[in-house]
A and B are shown apart, each in its own frame.
Chain A
């Protein structure tokens, strides 16, 4: 059993949450008891954050023939934090051709996470 303190980021109130985590050894599953929340979103956030945190991953992808060498990208949904380096390996090998528009899907459904890697800026063709 361990205890972790969190600040809820679901809304600007920023509740200070305490989470007590007990692990069910052998199954890999755990249980998290949350205190200090003012609404149910706090419980959901804390449990997710402790047991399998999700993150938007912002990074960049190489552009060919672009006015810039890189296009900034992000996952359009949070992805499991544990998969971030695996996703980065794919992102690092990816190349796109200019022009790229904001919102363009660069890698669909990356590693079956249900999240697309999308462009967060436009890069014109080099003139």
Chain B
């Protein structure tokens, strides 16, 4: 078996991994290797052929494949970066800092000085939402349906119902419609949509696709193929209200019911957040082990791929710093205050800028996001129309930050 020493090893060549490679390469470490399960870079971007990416990072609106190609081309000039596709991480022997990688060429033991975990997320499967009824052919997660239709040139069905109004669900509703697959409705269990306003407009309203808020599937019917899907309205306790059932004659059910950070390889030795399931990180992207960094959807589910790349870049940069100086700064926890549902990162690490991502728990028309370190107010600003579905990014530059725990809260303005 070959052993390969490397300064920075990156697992996953999606938007975060490519950003990490860029961040590490720029710092001039000798060797950066990105290993990837698929044969190409770009990860899920390859199948996201819709536009809407890159407005922050590239100041230009791009489709997924274009975005992927752009970052790839940014890496072209760095000779210290190597991409290896069709590679599978079997396991990580964290005690010996060894990553065991299997491919058709055999088994390789990578011995990285630092590791950057950019493994993205998986889709919650149908069993994850306790979908009642039969289990026939014709039930797809949105990403799988997207892959068939956009990459493999295959139709997942003729008439569809989409469950979940997150961005992927909305995008797929439009995509299916454009390809002549009739989308009967999008069904959302929350009283508000899960996706961005812009996608509600451009994916649903543009095509007159009804959106049923506060509704859920109460029965899938059909022995061999999906034949009917029954939905019902939910009361305030998320229980179906008898008598509100609607039956849709569809042959396809597309589920867009959440992404789960993909951390299976790491959970034995990296701390994960029990609520988000993401890898716990500091503001430098450092995990609970000082030589391992993480970024992207394996840490927290982002709204924008641009943020994912930016966070990847940062993790790559600090991984490279760690290769060079082996230092680790003091860290202070970030605490969730009032009306904060999701908060990332979990710690502030001294010497870094603090790039906070948060989601409110409940919608708020006008809310003040208030970030305090002890008695020092780091940030205090009114934000309009705060929605759980829309992640907010707050940047606090390093000079403003002192020592001590940091609290983030959102209060009525």
Contacts and interface: CB of A to CB of B under 8 A. Distances in A.
Contact of A58 (B46, B50, B201, B384): B50
Interface stretch (A21-29, A68-76, A108-116): A68-76
A31 B197 CA distance: 24
Interface string B60-74: 011111100100000
A81 B206 contact: yes
A88 B61 CA distance: 21
Given A7-B197, A70-B153, A121 B202 contact: no
Contacts of B63: 58, 72, 74, 120
Contacts of B151: 68, 70
Contacts of B178: 57, 59, 84, 88
B152 interface: yes
B198 interface: yes
Contacts of A14: 197, 384-385
Interface string A61-82: 0100000111010100000010
B244 interface: no
Contact of B69 (A9, A16, A55, A122): A122
A105 interface: no
A69 B153 contact: yes
Interface string A27-62: 000000000000000000000000001011111101
A7 B198 contact: yes
Could you say which interface size class chain A belongs to?
A: 20 to 34
Contacts of B401: none
B62 to A, nearest CB: 8
Contacts of A16: 384-385
A81 B61 CA distance: 18
A94 interface: no
B49 A59 contact: yes
B213 to A, nearest CB: 16
B150 interface: yes
A88 B180 CA distance: 10
A102 B65 contact: yes
A93 to B, nearest CB: 13
Contacts of A120: 49, 62-63, 65-66
A50 B250 CA distance: 32
Interface string B22-62: 00000000000000000000000010011100011000011
Contacts of B51: 56, 58, 74
A68 B63 CA distance: 18
B202 A55 contact: yes
Nearest to A59: B178
A58 B61 CA distance: 12
Interface string B370-412: 0000000000000011000000000000000000000000000
Contacts of A56: 51, 61
A56 B385 CA distance: 26
Contacts of B150: 60, 70, 72
Nearest to B174: A58
19 contacts: A6-B201, A12-B55, A12-B56, A14-B384, A14-B385, A16-B385, A56-B61, A58-B51, A59-B49, A60-B150, A70-B150, A70-B151, A72-B63, A84-B178, A88-B178, A102-B69, A120-B49, A121-B46, A121-B66
Interface of A: 6-7, 9, 12, 14, 16, 53, 55-60, 62, 68-70, 72, 74, 81, 84, 88, 102, 120-122
Interface of B: 46, 49-51, 55-56, 61-66, 69, 150-153, 178-179, 197-198, 201-202, 206, 384-385
Given A16-B385, A58-B50, 7 more contacts: A9-B198, A14-B385, A69-B153, A84-B206, A120-B63, A121-B66, A121-B69
